[in-house]
């Protein structure tokens, strides 16, 4: 009788183990997401001072009071809710980009600058807009919205422009006004 009970017990244990083995699935990603809400950032950094160097020379310096990292999303991005100050260096000269809000998208290397965007170029020209985009890969700055370009000799108002990062090839899509300044 004891041998029969051992045999039945062994069969039950085997059945449970086999059932557990076949019911297991690969849910490692789900386990990683436990405690991380999809709409919450995976990290928050404060007082950012990020320097980009190439061949030992500083090419850009990004300053921001706060950055939220949403790399847990399918279309990953970093949000700068308190704005940014971006300094671009080229051959000893500096251009400055300021905005009250910005988002940097990882997959397409695009930075969306919003709210009180100001660019001061190496030559001292200033551009004002409510929204601009910076394509990091192609080093292009563009918008389809209203802008104002102030140079030492004139002020140009318009809607939309395309330009290289140095503003050497600036093209306004629509000029709504030009004011020439006295020299």
Most confident of 8-17, 20-29, 45-54: 45-54
Per residue in 169-181, pLDDT tens?
888 888 898 888 8
| 31 or 40, which is more confident | 40
Q: What band does 62 get if pLDDT is binned at 50, 70 and 90?
A: confident
Range of the domain at 53: 30-180
pTM: 0.72
Q: What band does 114 get if pLDDT is binned at 50, 70 and 90?
A: very high
Beta bridge partners of 131: 114
Output the average pLDDT for the chain: 82
Q: Among 81, 79, 80, 118, which residue's Cα sits nearest to residue 99?
A: 118
Tokens encoding 87: 């300094």
Q: Residue 118 is part of a domain; what is its CATH number? A: 2.60.450.10
Residue 149 lies in a domain: yes
Q: What band does 99 get if pLDDT is binned at 50, 70 and 90?
A: very high
Q: Using CA atoms, how far apart are residues 85 and 21, in angstroms rounded to an integer?
A: 55
- Tell whether the model's pLDDT for residue 83 goes beyond 90: yes
Q: Among 141, 151, 142, which residue's Cα sits nearest to residue 178?
A: 151
- Average pLDDT on 117-140 reads 88
Residue 9 lies in a domain: no
- Please identify which residue in the block is written with the tokens 């061949």: 55
Residue 86 lies in a domain: yes
CA angle, corner 116, sides to 81 and 131, nearest 5? 85
Q: Among 117, 138, 123, 127, which residue's Cα sits nearest to residue 91?
A: 123
- Tell whether the model's pLDDT for residue 122 goes beyond 70: yes
89-93, 119-123, 148-152: which range is least confident on average? 89-93
Looking at residue 9, what is its pLDDT?
67
- Tell whether the model's pLDDT for residue 37 goes beyond 60: no
Q: What band does 183 get if pLDDT is binned at 50, 70 and 90?
A: low
Q: What band does 25 get if pLDDT is binned at 50, 70 and 90?
A: low
Tokens encoding 40: 């919450």
Q: Using CA atoms, how far apart are residues 20 and 85, in angstroms rounded to an integer?
A: 56
- Average pLDDT on 20-47 reads 67
Residue 155 lies in a domain: yes
Tokens encoding 146: 């209203």
Residue 23 lies in a domain: no
Number of structural domains (the chain) is: 1
């Amino acid at each position: 009788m004891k041998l029969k009970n051992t045999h039945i017990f062994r069969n039950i244990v085997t059945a449970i183990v086999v059932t557990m083995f076949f019911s297991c699935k690969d849910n490692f990603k789900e386990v990683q997401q436990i405690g991380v809400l999809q709409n919450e950032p995976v990290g928050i950094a404060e007082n950012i001072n990020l320097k980009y160097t190439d061949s030992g020379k500083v090419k850009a310096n990004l300053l921001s009071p706060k950055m939220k990292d949403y790399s847990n999303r399918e279309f990953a991005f970093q949000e700068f809710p308190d704005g940014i100050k971006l300094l671009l260096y080229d051959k000893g000269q500096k251009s400055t980009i300021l905005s009250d809000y910005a988002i940097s998208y990882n997959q397409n290397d695009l930075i969306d600058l919003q709210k009180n965007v100001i660019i001061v170029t190496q030559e001292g020209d200033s551009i004002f807009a409510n929204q601009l985009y910076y394509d990091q890969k192609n080093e292009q700055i563009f918008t389809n919205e209203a802008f104002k370009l102030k140079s030492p000799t004139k002020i140009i108002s318009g809607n939309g422009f395309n330009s290289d990062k140095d503003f050497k090839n600036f093209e306004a899509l629509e000029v709504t006004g030009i004011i020439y300044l006295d020299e």
